Amino acid sequence: MAHDHNVVYMQMFDVVERSMCPNHFEKFKSFHENIYEFCSSVSLGKAGINKTVFGYFRNRPARVKRLDWVKFGDWVKNGEGVKFSWLCGDWSDYAQNSIKAGEGCRNVSMRLINFDKVIEFDDD
């Protein structure tokens, strides 16, 4: 079970970090505070929950786009994910607001820019 938890944690942390600008990711307080427990609950849950969660938080090079956050929020509020809402009920709203308000998050979520790569331009 510890292996399952680590897989869920690493995949979720990686894709969410890759899908937001560094500023909004750092300020995503409820995600940072609750991701460990959320991943524990998911990995201990019934079969198929991991697959559902991985549908929203896919492997590299995927990003969590606004529509993914909308679907995840719906799953948490109305679907099988209701039992996790006390841990992640506000994640979707925060991420969607970050994408709407911040050009960096909007571009990152659409894969227009990578904050993990430094791009150097010629002086020409």
Average pLDDT over residues 33-51: 88
| pLDDT at residue 120 in the model | 42
Identify whether the C-beta of residue 69 lies closer than 8 Å to the C-beta of residue 12. Answer: no
Query: Does pTM top 0.85 for this prediction?
Result: no
Give mean pLDDT, residues 36-56.
88
Residue 87 and residue 100: Cα distance in Å, rounded? 23
Closest CA to 41 of 92, 90, 96, 82: 82
Instruction: Delimit the domains of the chain by residue range.
Output: 2-109
Structural contact between residues 15 and 95, judged by C-beta atoms closer than 8 angstroms: no
| Mean residue pLDDT across the chain | 84
- When mean pLDDT is compared across 34-38, 60-64, 113-117, the lowest value belongs to 113-117
What is d(CA 8, CA 24) in angstroms, rounded to the nearest whole number? Answer: 21
Q: What is the pLDDT of residue 4?
A: 78
Tens digits of per-residue pLDDT, 79-106? Answer: 889 999 999 999 999 999 998 887 877 7
